[in-house]
Amino acid sequence: QQQVKQSPQSLIVQKGGISIINCAYENTAFDYFPWYQQFPGKGPALLIAIRPDVSEKKEGRFTISFNKSAKQFSLHIMDSQPGDSATYFCAAPLITGGGNKLTFGTGTQLKVEL
Amino acid sequence: DTAVSQTPKYLVTQMGNDKSIKCEQNLGHDTMYWYKQDSKKFLKIMFSYNNKELIINETVPNRFSPKSPDKAHLNLHINSLELGDSAVYFCASSQVWEAAGELFFGEGSRLTVL
């Protein structure tokens, strides 16, 4: 079964540092790659997404970098803040036997320390 | 005013019981979903409904039965609960098919089966 491979599983970053989370995918139905952010006790919420006619998208401190040939994309959080501590999920619209489905990565628990 | 609301937030029940989770969205979206998040935080789609019609039915035991009385509501009924059903269940909705655009999640319903 196709997967979206996400790493690392957990990450501890100092306040002000850069957090980097990586994802790799197999065959997608088309190009749409979102990142979701989930705080404890809440549902995931869309953080940023890219439709890669571009290789990079930036929104504030959050940047998606996309490498289509390598089938990899990553989330960079610049100037990480304690309020960024959450679980982050990448996702990709994979081609599966049951149709095209948005498949989530396994999640990365980010902790930003003071 | 909550966009996607689900009730109850917590469910604790015995094995073998039947339980239901209700979901309502006030975003005017045509498509609604149920996702399951296990103890390792892995998010997996269970069902997808578009305008009250079942679109995606993952390999979920037939003890799980979704029902959509109208396009703003999607309920999940679970029969003969098992220990392995313990998880957080998220309802979500989207304007377009989930692999192409933003998903709006509810806050989740934590089911504990004893």
pLDDT tens readout for residues B25-75: 999 998 999 999 999 999 999 988 888 888 777 778 999 999 999 989 999
3-state helix, strand, coil in chain A (%, to 5): 5, 60, 40
The confidence score (pLDDT) of residue A108 equals 98
Is the pLDDT at A2 greater than 70? The verdict is no
**Residue A93: pLDDT band by 50, 70, 90 thresholds?**
confident
Asked if A42's CB is within 8 angstroms of B99's CB, the reply is no
* Tokens encoding B23: 């979901």
Do A45 and A37 meet the contact criterion of CB atoms below 8 Å apart? yes
Q: Is any Cβ of chain A less than 8 angstroms from the Cβ of B50?
A: no
Measure the CA–CA gap between B96 and A51, rounded to whole angstroms: 15
Asked if A87's CB is within 8 angstroms of B101's CB, the reply is no
Q: Is any Cβ of chain A less than 8 angstroms from the Cβ of B105?
A: yes
Q: Residue A52 in 3-state DSSP?
A: coil
Do A110 and A89 meet the contact criterion of CB atoms below 8 Å apart? no
Task: Determine which of A13-17, A79-83, B12-16, B55-59 has the lowest per-residue pLDDT on average.
Answer: B55-59
**Residue A94: pLDDT band by 50, 70, 90 thresholds?**
confident
Nearest CA-CA distance, residue A43 and chain B, Å: 4
Is the pLDDT at A17 greater than 80? The verdict is yes
Q: Tell me which DSSP letter residue A29 carries.
A: S
Q: Is any Cβ of chain B less than 8 angstroms from the Cβ of A29?
A: yes
